[in-house]
Structure 1
Amino acid sequence: MKINIFQWRYSPFLILLPLLLPTGNAQAALSVTCQAGMNTAPGSAGIVNFGTITSTNANNASTTGTLTYSCTNTGDTAGYVSVCLAADGGEYNNTAVNGRYMQRPGSGTDPERRLNFTMTLPGGTVWSTRGKSGLEFNSGLLSIGANSTVKGSEVISLSMNGGNTRATQGVYTNNFGNGNHTALTFRASENSSGLNCATGNQGLDRFPFTVQAAIEPSCIITATSDVNLGPRSASETNITGSNSSAITVNCTNGGSYYVGLKPSNNSTTGAGVMSGTGGNLDKVPYQLRSTAGINGTIWGNTATSTTIGNGVADFGTGANKTHEVFVTVPSADFKPDNYSDTVTINVNY
């Protein structure tokens, strides 16, 4: 009989079993960022432009700027946000929020190089930074959803102050982007209780912008008065008269101007005639002059914006300037009456 003996060999077996872990939706906390701008989309540099300033509006021109801001929550949790936006005095004097000014390029801060202006919040309060004489803009409490953006805006009023009439021609700016001249502060929380951007440290985020204006040459006639020759005898000849304040003009400081005078007969040489009243057909000839005497310099109307012609030339100071007008009449031998004429003043600049 044959017996077969089988040899058993054993080896370990590794059985892999799936490990099941309980899972759910991961939830990110509230995650908010904010940015701002002035007269532009939040996050980019803007410009507030007064436009053209002349001697007539240098002390009272006004404009507005729109302050914009946006906050984005990239988290899956809704909550609340509060935004504060502030600006100081700008690049020339960052502490002067009540005395902000634009300046022409170059050195010096004399009145010929500066334009004073204010920036105020609705209601007239000076727009400022913390610790200055004024208030920063405060959005108040805003709700912000999960994975969403909230936006807002506010109008800032800008006005020229007094003392600008001596400013000379050129472009004036104040840059609120160079340095720490603006500040964006925000606070965000899932809980609205006590949430206020005005608490804690002022933020370090910036929103650069520039305020600018351009002074262009201008002139206005601010006053006129008559040259009255008074009653004259018919026998009088070579009559002279004048008015030291016949013409008052206000022109841009440093700007040249040329004044021409035109009688009603459109004479370019200032040789006019005065008419009587009613049916009186007599005409009394007269001559306009810029200097005294029967042979004073003729004052006519050939001046242009670049040449004096037979007019009078001068330079503006930003203040009123008067010009004397002289008149000569060869003879008064005419029918008794009140004679007069209207002279047109042309100020070329």
Structure 2
Amino acid sequence: MNINILQWRYSLFLILLLPLWLSTNAQAALSVTCKAGMNTAVGSAGIVNFGTITSANANNANTTGTLNYSCTNTGDTAGYVSVCLAADGGEYNNTNVNGRYLQRPGSGSNRRRRLNFTMTLSGGQLWSTRGRDGSEYNSGVLAIGANSTVTGSEVINFSMDGGNNNATQGVYTNNFGSGNHTALTFRASENSAGINCATGAQGLDRFPFIVQAAIEPSCTITATSNVNLGSYSANATNITGSNSSAITVNCTNGGSYYIGLQPSNNNTNGAGVMSGLTSGNADKVPYQLRSTTGTGGTIWGNTATSTTVGNGVADIGTGSPKSHEVFVTVPSADFRPDNYSDTVTIKVNY
């Protein structure tokens, strides 16, 4: 018997895989984005508030806002950036930047419901947008590192302008965020030469904010003058006198106010007494304050409040000084010869 033995031969082939190391000098380019915010963090909507406006400061109240901005470079290359920030007239007459105004909602073109104001840069220039009076804010050239952020700010001055005397009570606003009323423009480059945010098209980025003020009822006594009754003989009776501008007040346009008069003896019905100026003279001359002429004129006392006229005088403010006439009657001059007088306190309730 024949036996055939088959022999298998195995061969091991080894393949040597060598690691491949690729090298490159590629680097992320300059990549910059910028944001801004008024009185708030960049990228957020802000508010500038004048606070309470009265007839005394309606034409000269002022406040400030801080315009913050930041630019972030996410690239691995350092460079430079220039930032421009502009604002037009806001939601009311956005083409007019030299005479912006706050307005009460729903008041249309009623100028009694407007407050004129201006916005200026820290250097005094009118803060504006391109193609209008004034200047947009320009940061100049700022260095920005790789993977870093650069920040800056500008103080904006907000001032009430003239012509606000007729404004009535209420809250006034101008919205610089309801539309394209602001513009952020920036230019970034690895080289500083020739970089200027004011060149080229204006940017489309926004930084919304609202300017607001509240007019509250107010009254100010702006002038007073004496009621001079003159000289009389001892037998004179039913003496009368008046002064058409004895009291001048300035109250908020459309606001009610009530004036009370109080003699030095604190009589609430306006019945006072005048004292002589000569030492040792104990005589007291009675008199009556009145709001209308004649010995039977309406008594002017001091029971008025902020809501009721009482025995005082009621009126409506106009936003401008308004004079009130005071009448005085004296029953008799049968007293020791002397100069007699008294001090009357004026109380304006509103």
Report the TM-score range of the alignment, normalised by the length of the smaller protein. over 0.9
CA distance in 1, matches of 2:13, 2:109: 92
Match of 2:99 in 1: 99
Match of 1:215 in 2: 215
Q: Tell me by how many angstroms 1:198 deviates.
A: 0.6
Q: How many residues align?
A: 348
Match of 1:230 in 2: 230
Match of 1:307 in 2: 308
Q: Is the 8 A contact 1:111 1:163 kept in 2?
A: no
CA distance in 2, matches of 1:295, 1:325: 14
Match of 2:83 in 1: 83
CA distance in 2, matches of 1:123, 1:185: 20
Q: Tell me by how many angstroms 1:99 deviates.
A: 1.1
Q: Which runs of 5+ in 2 are unaligned?
A: none
CA distance in 2, matches of 1:316, 1:135: 39
Of all paired residues, the percent bearing the same amino acid is 82
Amino acid at match of 1:340: S
SS of 2:341's equivalent in the other structure is coil
Q: Tell me by how many angstroms 1:124 deviates.
A: 1.3
User: What do residues 217-246 of structure 1 show as CA deviations (whole Å, max 9, x unaligned)?
Assistant: 000011111111100111011111111111
Match of 1:195 in 2: 195
SS of 1:112's equivalent in the other structure is helix
Match of 1:240 in 2: 240
Q: Is the 8 A contact 1:30 1:190 kept in 2?
A: yes
Q: Tell me by how many angstroms 1:189 deviates.
A: 0.8
User: What do residues 264-321 of structure 1 show as CA deviations (whole Å, max 9, x unaligned)?
Assistant: 1111010000011122111100000001110111000000000001000000010111
Q: Tell me by how many angstroms 1:108 deviates.
A: 2.0
TM-score by length of 1: 0.96
SS of 1:286's equivalent in the other structure is strand
Amino acid at match of 1:207: F
Q: For residues 128-139 of structure 1, what are the structure 2 equivalents within 5 Å? A: 128-139=128-139
Match of 1:177 in 2: 177
CA distance in 1, matches of 2:66, 2:175: 16
Match of 1:28 in 2: 28
Q: Tell me by how many angstroms 1:32 deviates.
A: 0.6
Match of 1:71 in 2: 71
Match of 1:159 in 2: 159
Amino acid at match of 2:267: S
Q: For residues 245-324 of structure 1, what are the structure 2 equivalents within 5 Å? A: 245-277=245-277, 278-324=279-325
Q: Tell me by how many angstroms 1:21 deviates.
A: 3.7
Amino acid at match of 1:260: G
CA distance in 1, matches of 2:282, 2:38: 68
Q: Tell me by how many angstroms 1:109 deviates.
A: 2.1
User: What do residues 104-124 of structure 1 show as CA deviations (whole Å, max 9, x unaligned)?
Assistant: 011322221100000001221
Amino acid at match of 1:138: N
CA distance in 2, matches of 1:109, 1:59: 20
CA distance in 2, matches of 1:14, 1:49: 81
CA distance in 2, matches of 1:290, 1:107: 37
Q: Tell me by how many angstroms 1:17 deviates.
A: 3.0
How large is the RMSD of aligned CA atoms in angstroms?
2.0
Q: Which runs of 5+ in 1 are unaligned?
A: none
Match of 1:39 in 2: 39
Amino acid at match of 1:118: T
User: What do residues 143-164 of structure 1 show as CA deviations (whole Å, max 9, x unaligned)?
Assistant: 1111111110010001000000
SS of 1:314's equivalent in the other structure is strand
Q: Is the 8 A contact 1:171 1:215 kept in 2?
A: yes
Match of 1:168 in 2: 168
